[in-house]
Chain A
Amino acid sequence: MIVASAGNVVVWMVWLVAGFSCLASGVAVISFRNPFFSALALIGNLASLAVMYLLLNAEFVAAAQVLVYAGAVVVMFLFVIAYVGPRREEPWTGGPSWQTLGAVLAAGALLVEIVVAISLDAGHSLGHDGKVGPTFGSPAWIGRLFLVDHLLAFEITSVVLLIAAVGGVILGSHVRRVEPLTSEVAD
């Protein structure tokens, strides 16, 4: 029992550190002026979220999170930020300033709504649950789920990724304008 409570304290401490760094880096992402630093702050956010996924017995999702986000998405962001170059966000000139106030109010209302919805149910069905099996969250278990139970979702996801890749290539490609032949004929 003493061992169990000591483990509980350790898990709580890891959770507190991960949750605090998750929220702090989230605030950093939206408050840096330079998008380069925002993208770097997102890496901290993703790493602390991966720790939380590990605490939730989701080992494969934690690994995929680090690989997909920190490995691919953030690198792509950094390349585009380097390509676009350092452009500072110009200070707000046109438009009413009530838009910022309205944005803060809207985000706050959204947050309050979600937290109230969670707290209404926190004591009842969201309390402690039992142990899960040792295979919960393991790569073999995820693979079986993906390729047996959720095969259609897996295939649709691959098609969505393919379409997005084609769209990204088309959006990023140079548009070569073909000069109309009629202008030469007219000359």
Chain B
Amino acid sequence: MLGPDTAWYLVVAAFLFGIGALGVLIRRNPLIVLLSLELMLNGGNLALIAFSRHFHNGAGQIFGLTVMAVAASEVCVGLGLVVAINRKKLPLDVDRLSELRG
């Protein structure tokens, strides 16, 4: 395998996951929280595909594609929620939306 070891890819994946976790924890705009979730999912995907290449096993790539589909579903529902929040003229702030009431 030319280039860096699997461990280097895993380190990039770990940093990507950490950046995404930081974004989910510190940002209050639900749109940016969703974007940070995408970063975390992509970090997990990179690790899955690196392991797939490492063990010469296709299940990692299949799992990565499944994660992509789940991410698309999550964005679909999350953006639907943002649109519903916006229609009710509520603030787009996850700290002030702490009550699960309509």
Q: Which residues from chain A sit less than 8 Å from chain B, CB to CB?
A: 4, 7-8, 11-12, 14-15, 19, 22-23, 26-27, 29-30, 32, 35, 38-39, 42, 45-46, 49, 52-53, 55-58, 60-61, 64-65, 68-69, 72-73, 76-77, 80-81, 83-84, 87, 89-90, 94-95, 100, 103-104, 106-108, 110-111, 114-115, 118-119, 121-122, 126-132, 136-137, 141-142, 145-146, 149-150, 153, 157, 160-161, 163-165, 167-172, 174
Contacts and interface: CB of A to CB of B under 8 A. Distances in A.
Interface residues of B, number: 71
Contact of A26 (B2, B7, B39): B39
Contacts of A137: 61
B87 to A, nearest CB: 8
Interface in B26-71: 26-29, 31-32, 34-36, 38-39, 42, 45-46, 49-50, 52-54, 56, 58-59, 61-62, 64-66, 68-71
B3 to A, nearest CB: 3
A30 B36 contact: yes
Contacts of B45: 49, 65
23 contacts: A11-B4, A23-B19, A29-B35, A38-B31, A39-B35, A42-B39, A45-B39, A53-B46, A61-B64, A64-B65, A68-B72, A69-B38, A76-B76, A77-B31, A89-B27, A107-B21, A110-B18, A118-B11, A126-B5, A129-B54, A164-B72, A165-B73, A172-B80
